[in-house]
Structure 1
């Protein structure tokens, strides 16, 4: 292990955190995960991760687990997303404190919800952040904390569109468009027009790994965008699912009207209604700075990415084991 670079990944049992952890392992990093239940984490998390018992809500646990780490990947959320608005900011504060204590860089998977898509069709590192949702406002506050902590605590934010891919369960692709664990019979399309941005997790995770390989090129507070798949017609993802199924599945529109009616009662309808504008207005991510840092993005062909995602979800009975790496890794 001598000379091996160390990364602490908070949220390594989740989709995005697990994807980043696996990519870092492939790149030769020693990766630590923090978990309340070590046995369960060992089953759910990626291979070759060293698990340390602890809780991201306890600062001492985060600092202890981060000892010797060069980066701390903050891909953690409250259990079952409960009390999200009350726990998210204390969790990022714990990560910043740990990074300061051990001299690490904080790495944060960013979202598009920090922005009003009606006024920012092209999202860049300097685009104004005027969110319309509660979660978007909290995301802005998280990024502000990182910016204020720099340069003493350096950070990297890699922003991307809606995630999909093997291991991603909390997503529009897996929770709305198709039914996990069942043969494909129909597709629900949330798009209300052209111009939605998607991020295939293996490509995004590979991008994270490439970015942290050259820390000297990164600014103390670095904010870059992953362009991913830009669905300029609003139907590219639908047609890719149909091609994976091998037949022309019926397509139904997502019931946005029902989300608006039920929003006052909270839960999923309120969350969906708040982010509806991101499905109504075109929104593309400007990856110029990313390309400057690592060259062309890793980009798995759409049909291969969709087929791997559906096979992992158990929607393709005849599918072979999908390749989880980015095509260009």
Structure 2
């Protein structure tokens, strides 16, 4: 059906939404992108062929109109800077669910590890109990609960959970908000975690590629389905720091402790700091999503080599001149 090759992307100007839109377009999908100011958003942000549609993800009618005839809705929209996250995230998802019910599209939601609490650590499968200890984690659980419930009324959805995002697009992620400072050369790197504690990272182009490959296996998916990515597992917290040092050509690059004291002090006034503080536990203990089910279906997990991914990220964030090296293409190797 022609419908199956039309994708509506919510959040196409963001990190994961933009990567998903580009991947879908490259694989022959017709991509629609919803935005409140499409004439501004389209300027220099997409390859030829994107169809920008005026609308607001908070308005169910706007999303439903944009999703007409679509076979896929990528729900990658989030409030900027974590502002009013609790008040906006669920209504936006309800708009998407309503649109999918009318159009017959499958929803794809980029998921996180936030759904899980200590009872599921350290290695987490898709069927692990979800008992989050944070407000943001509880919202994530509720989002998935609503998608699961919607499956009973014919709305199909897919959740792809991954570790901390990083990639060329600056955004609300630990790499660009915690490790380096976007827009300036790397003078030092911050270490948010304890020495020797593992941490899981997910390169945005790899997450997008994984979502697209799964979507194209529609016949193998459940009405509500979930998969975990392994991404880049930093076993002792040193691999990411070392990759940044190699990318900037400074093996002696200074490593500083992350200013958690400042996060605590500013949390009542700065939404971003409040959210960062809630997630501190993920830097204190090793937490790893198990990708065995993903590998069983796809055979491999898309994975860009870490050095290439970090170099591309630093270039995209304005921390490194593009002449310092070109980003490596996405590669694939068996996960776990």
Q: TM-score range by the shorter chain?
A: over 0.9
Q: CA deviation at 1:3?
A: 7.4
Contact 1:117–1:282 (8 Å) recurs in 2 = no
2:193 to 191, 198, 201: 191
Query: Tell me, what secondary structure is at the counterpart of 1:51?
Result: strand
Residues 1:179 and 1:265: Cα distance change in structure 2 (over 3 Å): closer
Give unpaired runs (5+ residues) of structure 1. none
TM-score, normalised to structure 2's length? 0.92
Give unpaired runs (5+ residues) of structure 2. none
Q: Deviations over 1:177-200 (max 9, x none)?
A: 111121121111112242110001
Which residue of structure 1 aligns with residue 296 of structure 2?
A: 292
Which residue of structure 2 aligns with residue 148 of structure 1?
A: 149
Q: CA deviation at 1:270?
A: 2.2
2:167 to 144, 149, 165: 165
Contact 2:4–2:71 (8 Å) recurs in 1 = no
Residues 1:244 and 1:79: Cα distance change in structure 2 (over 3 Å): closer
Contact 1:197–1:231 (8 Å) recurs in 2 = yes
Contact 1:120–1:127 (8 Å) recurs in 2 = no
Contact 2:228–2:293 (8 Å) recurs in 1 = yes
Give me the whole-angstrom Cα distance separating, in 1, the residues matched to 2:65 and 2:37.
Answer: 17
Which residue of structure 2 aligns with residue 28 of structure 1?
A: 28
Which residue of structure 1 aligns with residue 87 of structure 2?
A: 86
Which residue of structure 2 aligns with residue 202 of structure 1?
A: 205
Give me the whole-angstrom Cα distance separating, in 1, the residues matched to 2:227 and 2:236.
Answer: 25
CA RMSD, Structure 1 to Structure 2 (Å): 2.0
Q: Deviations over 1:25-47 (max 9, x none)?
A: 11111111101101111026322
Please tell me whether residue 251 in structure 1 is matched to residue 255 in structure 2: yes
Matches within 5 A, 1:253-268: 253-265=257-269, 267-268=271-272
The size of the alignment, in residue pairs, is: 329
Contact 1:203–1:325 (8 Å) recurs in 2 = no
Please tell me whether residue 240 in structure 1 is matched to residue 243 in structure 2: yes
Contact 2:16–2:205 (8 Å) recurs in 1 = no
Query: Tell me, what secondary structure is at the counterpart of 2:323?
Result: coil
1:229 to 221, 229, 232: 232
Give me the whole-angstrom Cα distance separating, in 2, the residues matched to 1:314 and 1:137.
Answer: 34
Q: CA deviation at 1:324?
A: 7.3
